[in-house]
Amino acid sequence: MVHSRQSIIFRETGGLTMAGDQTELIHAGEPDPRIGGAVVPPIFQSATFEQIPGSGYHDGRYIRLSNTPTHDHLHQKLASICGTESALVSSSGMAAITSTLLTLLGSGDTVIAQDRLYGGTESFLSGEVQRWGIDVQRFDACSPGTWQDPPAGAKVVYCEVITNPTCRIGDLRAVAAWAREHGLVSVIDATFATPVLVKPAELGFDIEVHSATKSMNGHGDICAGVIAGKAKLVHEVHHCLNHLGGHLDAHACFLLHRGLRTMALRVERQCQNALAISRFLEGHEAVSLVNYAGLESHPDHHRCVELMGGRAGGVLSFDVAAGAEEAERIATSMRYMATAPSMGGVETLIIRPASSSHAAVDPQVRRAMGVPDSLVRIGCGVEDAADLVADLAAVMGERV
């Protein structure tokens, strides 16, 4: 039985009673009726499709325009999970970030960006953005009392739910309200939190971006990004993405769809593992600082409780008192933790951000962001927490 694009109707969950996150992840956005009876939606591998009479450039069905049936049902699922009007996938998290900012900003405009960000975003804001005549101003999302009126030409406020890799949580409701008060578009990177822990739209943000390479996919086998938010803004970003060519391949869409179905289960386990490791490290004499908002001692623990019910995600970082050389030894000596960037997969990963995610950031700027050479980041997987803690204890016990 052949289904045309027009005949595919997407399953909606919830209705009068909202479904839980894991139920939404499995059932939202699924084709209804099921295509050929397939419980798992098939991959529409075709690059091109028959044209709909009267369609324009951005309406023609073509894989680069991210509007194949495979893309469509994935967009529906993501919008439902994020609680937004619309959603769009891209070829990477950076494609999601850059296409969003390039849609909203032009020469002479200003973006007000958080003062501690993922290294790739920081490099983009410090490099290409400024060379294109866009001004970048900074603000501390954790300290609303320090915020000033935005300068003339300000268009966008940009921040992260949980900062990478320092694990700070700003006053996010206040950030969204401040942006709204001054007529700015609020954009937030929610990669570390995922929609399981925080739904930025409910806090008042206009657009959220994700590196779906991480927890959304959860298996470390694709690179993908997500833009979700108000329909008008996502539509505009979609047009920009069409011109930049940052679409997601149909097979990668299928793998992302597969990963999303188990995201809530994985995130719950990763939060548990991160908390267990953080508690172990907090009492270790070789560690001078642990960054994890799930700890009662963390300066943003109250926001973690308010916004995420105390679950602070699957990533933590810690500063090794003996310095960078010892930090590198720890990061490269684990049995169950691969020395690799990224996070959110089933395997636990460990890395020094100074040599990976933030390697492209000026060393002085990086240290001012709270990312010294001696900082180690752990992206927890779903192994048994006791095994991960024992792994760390064995390695760190060699020189304590």
301 or 13: which carries more pLDDT confidence? Answer: 301
Residues in the chain: 400
Delimit the CATH 3.40.640.10 region(s) of the chain. 21-259
Mean pLDDT along residues 149-175: 96
Domain spanning 21-259: which CATH class is it, in words?
alpha beta
Name every residue whose Cβ is closer than 8 Å to that of residue 196 and which is 6 or more positions away in sequence. Answer: 21, 215, 263, 264, 267, 268
- pLDDT over 90 for what percent of the chain? 80
| pLDDT at residue 398 in the model | 45
As a whole number of angstroms, the distance between CA 51 and CA 223 comes to: 29
Domain over 264-396 is classified CATH 3.90.1150.10 = yes
pLDDT at 176 over 90: yes
29-47 confidence digits (pLDDT tens): 898 899 999 999 999 999 8
pLDDT at 202 over 70: yes
As a whole number of angstroms, the distance between CA 79 and CA 73 comes to: 10
Q: Among 17, 211, 222, which Cα is nearest to 121's?
A: 211
- Helices then strands, counting H and E runs in the chain, come out as 15, 14
> Between β-strands 9-10 and 31-32, what pairing exists: parallel, antiparallel or unpaired?
antiparallel
**Two tokens, residue 55:** 């369609």
74-130 confidence digits (pLDDT tens): 999 999 999 999 999 999 999 999 999 999 999 999 999 999 899 889 999 989 999
As a whole number of angstroms, the distance between CA 272 and CA 314 comes to: 8
CA 67 remoteness from chain centre:
22
291 or 361: which carries more pLDDT confidence? Answer: 291
Residue ranges of E strands in the chain: 9-10, 31-32, 86-90, 110-114, 135-139, 154-160, 185-189, 207-211, 225-229, 287-291, 315-320, 337-339, 348-351, 375-379
Q: Among 223, 315, 239, 237, which Cα is nearest to 275's?
A: 315
The β-bridge partners of 225 are 90, 211
As a whole number of angstroms, the distance between CA 64 and CA 47 comes to: 8
pLDDT at 322 over 90: yes
What's the pTM value of the predicted model, to 2 decimals? 0.92
Beta carbons of 374 and 319 less than 8 angstroms apart: yes
Delimit the CATH 3.90.1150.10 region(s) of the chain. 264-396
| pLDDT at residue 354 in the model | 87
CA 209 remoteness from chain centre:
6
- Coil vs helix vs strand at 9: strand
User: In this structure, what are the phi and psi dihedrals at residue 399, rounded to the nearest 5 degrees?
Assistant: -130, 30
Mean pLDDT along residues 179-192: 98
Banded model confidence at residue 270, pLDDT cuts 50, 70, 90: very high
pLDDT at 9 over 70: no
As a whole number of angstroms, the distance between CA 283 and CA 252 comes to: 42
